[in-house]
Amino acid sequence: MARTLMSRRGDLVHTAAAGFSLLELIIVLILLGLASALVAPSFTGGFSGLQLETSTRDVITLMRHARSQAIAKQHVFRVVVGEDDPLSLKYFLTNDFGETLKERTLPKGFRFQVPEDRQLPLTVSFYPNGRSSGAVLGIKNKQGKTNSIAVDVVTGFAKLQKEAKTER
């Protein structure tokens, strides 16, 4: 919007408008769009890493819950990872009779990995004395990063073992 000012001699003087032209605004919006398109993939990779961390901790939490329930109730509890389908995303907490007490699912694109000498479903038993049957398993995300979970036979504790490998 142009301003009209009065000069000292009494003449009317028109000044230029303050602000940005439509072309300048369009150029800035295009540059912002390009910058966000370049940065967005790095954020999605970070999100997948967070999902992997969270999913791994959820499985460990269920295993710790199974151990504490086994000690408190003096019964065997089991965590069953996967089903007969190798692409299964489910894991369960069951009692000694195989009844499902809790059921959880990994995010889409994730999968369980077990050592070559084992296969899914993998069952980890937790005993009333605090011990377990022991196990090592992994959770792999879409980008190929894997977090491993180790369950100690003597103590029954489940813990996270991070791996920095990425399959290409």
Range in 5-19, 94-108, 127-141 the model is least confident about:
5-19
Pairing label, strands 90-94, 77-81: antiparallel
Reduce the secondary structure of 96-122 to three states and give it as a string. Answer: CCCCEEEEEECCCCCEEECCCCCCCCE
Percent of the chain with pLDDT over 70: 79
More confident residue, 66 or 163: 66
What does the pLDDT average to over 94-102? 91
Q: According to the model, what pLDDT value does residue 168 have?
A: 47
Q: According to the model, what pLDDT value does residue 13 have?
A: 59
Segment 17-40, tens digit of pLDDT: 667 888 989 999 999 988 888 877
More confident residue, 85 or 78: 78
CB atoms within 10 A of CB 78: 20
How far from the centroid of its chain's Cα atoms is residue 14's Cα? 61
pTM beyond cutoff 0.85: no
Q: Kindly list the domain boundaries of the chain, sorted by start residue.
A: 20-162
- 20-162 — its CATH code? 3.55.40.10
Q: According to the model, what pLDDT value does residue 139 have?
A: 93
What does the pLDDT average to over 5-14? 63
Q: According to the model, what pLDDT value does residue 137 have?
A: 93
